[in-house]
């Protein structure tokens, strides 16, 4: 019985060859110094563009952007993840990290607007309809920045109770909201204005007239391996060139980069 299960020696040799090639590929050395940037899910495209522009100026550096829900990235940093820069979709998540790890160069670098996202072939055309019977609404979870902003916006609009009753899924980051809408499983969701840019054909945004704006903050980890390079990247994000790229991707231009001083 057992013999039939064991691979033939020839197969074993092939497997060993595959393993060797895999190892070699994994060890292929890149002479550039890696700079790890943890960025909120909504920054995926804009930070990819920032990475390209920054690397053009700094050929010796290799920016690696890791995107995810800000709350998840913050937890990973609290658990000791190695990163040089943290760019969060809200200040709270930077606060959480700041309790456990020393941060420097903390500053606000972008502002984003919230929109209701609907399918252009769907039944929803106004914000009030979100509370209608049988409407399937997808939000980001309560701990996710986009989910917090969305709930605050609904409170301001007086639609909180009605819309919350229609929520069918709490996504783990704002891109999960877009994914469920793109798949056509939900009728509406709340996301950032920047999430709908690019080659979007089936989704459209309804503007939300609320005072709730998303404020993005970044900080450099004080114990980062590439602290200087991390600071250089952070400075690039807040520089005119960096701000222009963020603006191109739909972020609202802040009057002036604001430095946030720690109060102890």
Partner 1 sequence: MTERGQGVGHWLLILLALIGLGLFVLPLIGLIARAPLAELGPLLVRDVVGQALGLSLVVSLAALGLALLLGLPLAWVLARFEFPGRRLVRALVTLPMVLPPVVAGVALLTVFGRRGLFGPVLSALGIELAFTTAGAILAATFVAAPFLIVTLEAAFERVDRRLEDAAATIGATRLRILWTVTLPAIRPSLLAGLALCWARALGEFGATITFAGNFPGRTQTMPLAVYEAMQSDPDGALALSLVLLAVSLALLFGLRGQLGRALT
Does residue 63 interact with partner 1 by CB under 8 A?
no
Does residue 49 interact with partner 1 by CB under 8 A?
no
Q: Whole-number minimum distance, CB 144 to partner 1, in Å?
A: 8
Tell me which long-range contacts 23-29 makes (C-beta under 8 A, separation of at least 24). Answer: none
Site mask, partner 1, residues 100-139, x = CB under 8 A? ------------------------------------x-x-
Q: How far apart are CA 104 and CA 89, in angstroms?
A: 17
Q: Can you tell me which of 171, 195, 217, 254 binds partner 1, judged by CB under 8 A? A: 171
Q: How far apart are CA 135 and CA 167, in angstroms?
A: 8
Nearer to partner 1, 50 or 167 (CB): 167
Does residue 18 interact with partner 1 by CB under 8 A?
no
Q: Count the site residues for partner 1 by CB under 8 A.
A: 23
Does residue 172 interact with partner 1 by CB under 8 A?
yes
Q: How far apart are CA 36 and CA 54, in angstroms?
A: 13
The two beta strands, 258-259 and 137-140, are unpaired
Nearer to partner 1, 145 or 250 (CB): 145
Does residue 167 interact with partner 1 by CB under 8 A?
yes
Q: Can you tell me which of 75, 111, 129, 231 binds partner 1, judged by CB under 8 A? A: 75
Q: Can you tell me which of 15, 20, 52, 168 binds partner 1, judged by CB under 8 A? A: 168
If we measure between CA atoms, which residue out of 46, 98, 43 comes closest to residue 74?
Answer: 98
Nearer to partner 1, 149 or 233 (CB): 149
Q: How far apart are CA 138 and CA 156, in angstroms?
A: 18
Does residue 71 interact with partner 1 by CB under 8 A?
yes
Burial zone of 184 (CB within 10 Å; 0-12 exposed, 13-18 middle, 19+ buried): exposed
Does residue 141 interact with partner 1 by CB under 8 A?
yes
Cβ(65)–Cβ(51) below 8 Å? yes
Q: How far apart are CA 87 and CA 90, in angstroms?
A: 9
If we measure between CA atoms, which residue out of 195, 194, 177, 174 comes closest to residue 185?
Answer: 177
Copy the structure tokens of residue 208. 């939300």
Q: Whole-number minimum distance, CB 161 to partner 1, in Å?
A: 17
Q: Whole-number minimum distance, CB 83 to partner 1, in Å?
A: 16
| Residue span binding partner 1 (CB under 8 A) among the ranges 51-59, 71-79, 99-107, 125-133 | 71-79
Dihedral angle sign, alpha carbons of residues 7, 8, 14, 19: positive
Applying CB under 8 A, the residues found at the interface with partner 1 are: 69, 71-72, 74-75, 78-79, 136, 138, 141, 143-144, 167-172, 180, 183-186
């Amino acid at each position: 019985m057992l013999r039939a299960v064991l691979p033939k020696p020839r197969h074993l040799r092939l497997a060993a060859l595959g393993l060797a090639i895999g190892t070699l590929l994994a060890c292929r050395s890149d002479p550039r110094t890696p700079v790890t940037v943890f960025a909120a899910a909504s920054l995926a495209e804009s930070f990819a563009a920032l990475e390209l522009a920054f690397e053009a100026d700094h050929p010796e550096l290799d920016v690696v952007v890791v995107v995810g829900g800000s709350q998840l990235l913050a937890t990973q940093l609290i658990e000791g993840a190695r990163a040089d820069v943290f760019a969060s979709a809200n200040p709270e998540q930077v606060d959480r990290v700041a309790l456990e790890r020393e941060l420097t160069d903390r500053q606000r670098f972008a502002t984003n607007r919230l929109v209701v996202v609907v399918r252009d072939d769907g039944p929803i055309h106004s914000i009030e309809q979100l509370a209608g019977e049988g409407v399937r609404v997808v939000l980001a979870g309560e701990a996710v920045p986009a989910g917090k902003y969305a709930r605050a916006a609904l409170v301001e609009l007086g639609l909180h109770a009605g819309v919350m009753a229609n929520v069918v899924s709490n996504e783990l980051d704002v891109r999960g909201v877009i994914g469920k809408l793109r798949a056509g499983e939900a009728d509406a969701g709340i996301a950032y204005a920047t999430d709908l840019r690019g080659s979007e054909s089936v989704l459209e945004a309804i503007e939300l007239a609320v005072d709730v704006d998303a404020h993005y903050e970044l900080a450099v980890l004080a114990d980062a391996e590439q602290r200087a390079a991390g600071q250089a990247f952070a400075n690039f994000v807040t520089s005119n060139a960096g701000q222009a790229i963020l603006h191109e991707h739909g972020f609202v231009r802040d009057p002036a980069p604001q430095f946030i001083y720690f109060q102890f």
